Amino acid sequence: MSYGAPSLERVPIMINVSLLQMMMEARTFFGGGATPSDRTWPVANLALYLPLLIPKKINVANMFWQNGATISGNVCMGLYNEAGTRLQQTTIVAHAGASAIQAPSITAFDLPRGRYWLGIAFSSATATIRGFGTSAVGADANKWCAIGEEALGSTQIPTTMTPVASARNVFLPFIGITRN
Amino acid sequence: MYSQPLRGEPDPFFINTINRVCPTSFVMTGVGSSTMGSAIWTTANLALFFPFVLTGRHTYVRACVCNGTAVSGNFDIGVYSRTGTRLFSTGAQAQAGISQIQPITVSWTLDPGDYYMALVFNNIVATCSRTSPAAASLATTGCKQMATAYVLPTTATLVDTTTSYVPVFGISEKSWL
* Model pLDDT for residues A115-135, shown as the tens digit of each residue: 999 999 999 999 999 988 765
Residue A111 predicted with pLDDT over 50: yes
Class of domain B14-171: mainly beta
pLDDT at B36: 78
Facing B66 at nearest CB: one of A55, A114, A139: A139
Distance in angstroms (rounded) separating the CA atoms of residues B110 and A20? 23
Q: Pick A137's closest partner by Cβ from B5, B29, B99.
A: B99
Our measurement of the distance from residue A159's CA atom to the centroid of its chain's CA atoms, rounded to an integer in Å, reads 16
How high is the pLDDT of residue B116? 96
**Greater confidence, B45 or A37?**
B45
- Does this model's pTM top 0.90? My answer is no
> Of the candidates A4, A160, A146, which has an alpha carbon nearest to the alpha carbon of residue B7?
A4
DSSP at B18: T
DSSP, res B163: -
pLDDT value of residue A6: 46
Of residues B108 and A8, more confidence is placed in B108
**A98-108: average pLDDT:** 96
* CB-CB neighbors (< 8 A) of B6 in chain A: 113
Residue A65 pLDDT > 80: yes
pLDDT at A11: 81
CB atoms within 10 A of CB A59: 10
A166 or A78: which carries more pLDDT confidence?
A78
B143 touches chain A (CB under 8 A): no
B47-97 pLDDT, tens digit per residue, is 999 999 998 999 999 999 999 999 999 999 999 999 999 999 999 999 999
Instruction: Look at residue A107 in the predicted model and tell me its pLDDT.
Output: 96
Rounded CA-CA distance A116/B9 in Å is 12
Q: Which CATH class is domain A14-179?
A: mainly beta
pLDDT digits (tens, 9 = 90+) for A21-30: 666 666 666 6
The whole-angstrom distance between residue B38's C-alpha and the CA centroid of its chain comes to 16
Q: Which of B19, B176, B177 sits opposite A25 (nearest CB)?
A: B19
pLDDT value of position B7: 63
Q: Could you write out the DSSP letters of every residue in A59-90?
A: EEEEEEEEB-S---SEEEEEEE-TTSBEEEEP
Instruction: Compute the mean pLDDT over every residue in chain A, rounded to the nearest whole number.
Output: 86
Domain ranges of chain A: 14-179
CA atoms within 13 A on the CB side of A28: 21
Is the model's pLDDT at A138 over the cut of 60? no
Mutation choice for A interface testing from B28, B31, B66 by most A CBs within 10 A: B66
Question: Cα dist. B3→B6, B7, B58 in Å?
Answer: 9, 12, 19
Confidence category of residue A165, pLDDT binned at 50, 70, 90:
confident
Residue A133 has a CB neighbour count (10 Å cut-off) of: 23
Q: What SS3 class is residue B145?
A: strand
Contacts of B35 in chain A (CB under 8 A): 29, 31
A32-58 burial, b if ≥16 CB within 10 A, otherwise e?
A: bbeebebbbbbebbbbbbbbbbbbbeb
pLDDT < 50 regions, chain B: none
Please give the average per-residue pLDDT across A153-176, as a whole number. 88
Q: Count CA atoms closer than 13 A to A52's CA, side-chain side.
A: 31
